[in-house]
């Protein structure tokens, strides 16, 4: 048995990935060259965007190649270093991939401090999903104090932070999530002003109730029918942030375009796409602010941690079945 378990992409899925999309393989422990270091991967980030990386299409990032280690952000500990800027014992964040060990020349990696926050939080609220929420709602959504804000996927890693930031900015915030438990969580734990259970409630009726004057900002993580209903309830000069479209990622037919898009014209509204990497130069500033809100108790960070690289597939599927709360994280090894 070789010591480095790795998850390799074996085929390109059509629709919802099946288990044989990936294969768990074993490799030798990689050896760092001069100017490199060796990381023991501790936690891996599971994100809806990973589904897009499996498609052989032009996008904001190249697809994962067949037989390559599955791409993933991760945090881990440096156990050997031949790099002048990183030393043994440092904890780092970067694109580790879904595997137990990886070497790096440091490109795209930065150190993190496990004494300031638990490691998994660096994959969520203090990581890419937190950054996405922060820049998405504040910069792309041009959030103003007092705005009426709707967020879908509101119990998820990005949505839960978006909703809380909007509350901090004195907005009215309504979240959409699936099921009573999640909806209670949004209102009781995260302090949102209301929640819509898309599995059991009439979204159109609820939007009318919650937004008598229309939606100023809609932060869209899901696309599909919910995007159309939000378009049908816009306020003048509304902003829609297109962050994702999880309802459409496993489509086998064409993506459903928003048939209400002419509401943009009627309401002089905008719909704008975002990719978080564009804000990389300001990650530091955002981290400081998010960290401060967490310390002040204004921002709650929730991670849903599953254990063992062997559980990758079952855990990944939870992104699409909705059986998770907050940021989905895989602890790589049981120890």
**Site residues (CB under 8 A) for its own copies, limited to 222-251:** 223, 228, 242-245, 248
Q: Pick the stretch among 35-43, 98-106, 175-183, 273-281 that binds its own copies (CB under 8 A).
A: 273-281
The whole-angstrom separation of Cα 23 and Cα 98 is 11
Closest CB to its own copies among 76 and 244?
244
In angstroms, how far is CA 296 from the centroid of its own chain?
A: 23
141-160 residues near its own copies, rule: CB under 8 A? none
Options 15, 108, 146, 257; binder of its own copies; rule CB under 8 A = 257
Nearest CA to 106 out of 121, 89, 126, 84 is that of 84
How many chain residues are in contact with its own copies, going by CB under 8 A? 33
**273 lines the binding site for its own copies (CB under 8 A):** yes
Q: Return the number of the residue (140 or 192) whose C-beta is nearest its own copies.
A: 140
* CB contact at 8 A, 305 and 120: yes
Distance (Å, rounded) from C-alpha 292 to C-alpha 126?
Answer: 11
Instruction: State the Cα–Cα distance between residues 76 and 60, nearest whole angstrom.
Output: 26
Complex with its own copies: residue 120 or 223, whichever CB lies closer: 223
Nearer Cβ to its own copies, position 249 or 312? 249
- Mapping DSSP onto H, E and C, the string for 182-207 reads HHHHHHHHCCCCEEEECCCCCHHHHH
Binding residue (CB under 8 A) for its own copies from 78, 263, 325, 332: 263
Residue 319 CB, nearest approach to its own copies (Å): 17
Shortest spacing between CB 231 and its own copies, in angstroms:
9
Closer residue to its own copies, CB minimum distance, 255 or 288: 255
Site for its own copies in 44-103 (CB under 8 A): 58-60
Contact 217, 162 (CB under 8 A): no
Contacts of 280 (CB under 8 A, 6+ apart): none
Nearest approach, Cβ of 206 to its own copies (angstroms)?
A: 19
Cα 230 from Cα 216, distance rounded (Å): 10
Binding site for its own copies (CB under 8 A): 58-60, 223, 228, 242-245, 248, 254-275, 278
């Amino acid at each position: 048995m070789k010591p480095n378990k790795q998850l390799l992409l074996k085929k390109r899925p059509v629709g919802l990935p099946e288990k044989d999309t990936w294969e768990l393989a074993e490799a030798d422990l990689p050896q760092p060259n001069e100017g490199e270091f060796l990381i023991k991967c501790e936690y891996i980030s599971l994100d809806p965007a990973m589904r897009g990386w499996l498609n052989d299409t032009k996008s904001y990032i190249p697809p994962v190649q067949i037989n390559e280690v599955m791409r993933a952000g991760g945090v881990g500990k440096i156990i050997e270093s031949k790099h002048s800027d990183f030393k043994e014992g440092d904890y780092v964040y970067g694109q580790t991939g879904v595997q137990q060990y990886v070497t790096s020349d440091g490109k795209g990696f930065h150190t993190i401090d496990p004494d300031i926050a638990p490691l998994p939080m660096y994959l969520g609220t203090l990581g890419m999903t937190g950054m996405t929420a922060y820049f998405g709602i504040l910069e792309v959504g041009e959030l103003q104090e007092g705005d009426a804000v709707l967020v879908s996927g509101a119990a998820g890693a990005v949505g839960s932070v978006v909703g809380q930031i909007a509350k901090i900015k004195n907005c009215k915030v309504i979240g959409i999530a699936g099921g009573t438990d999640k909806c209670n969580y949004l209102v009781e734990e995260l302090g949102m002003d209301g929640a819509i259970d898309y599995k059991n409630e009439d979204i159109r009726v609820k939007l009318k109730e919650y937004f008598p004057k229309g939606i100023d900002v809609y932060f869209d993580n899901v696309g599909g029918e919910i995007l159309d209903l939000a378009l049908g309830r816009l306020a003048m000069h509304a902003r829609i942030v297109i962050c994702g479209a999880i309802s459409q990622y496993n489509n086998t037919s064409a993506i459903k375009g928003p048939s209400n898009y002419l509401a943009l014209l009627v309401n002089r509204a905008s719909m704008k796409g975002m990719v978080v990497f564009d804000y990389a130069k300001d990650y530091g500033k955002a981290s400081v602010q998010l960290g401060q809100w967490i310390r002040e108790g204004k921002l709650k960070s929730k991670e849903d941690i599953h254990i063992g690289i062997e559980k990758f597939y079952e855990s990944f599927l939870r992104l699409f079945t909705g059986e998770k709360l907050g940021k989905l994280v895989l602890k790589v090894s049981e120890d």
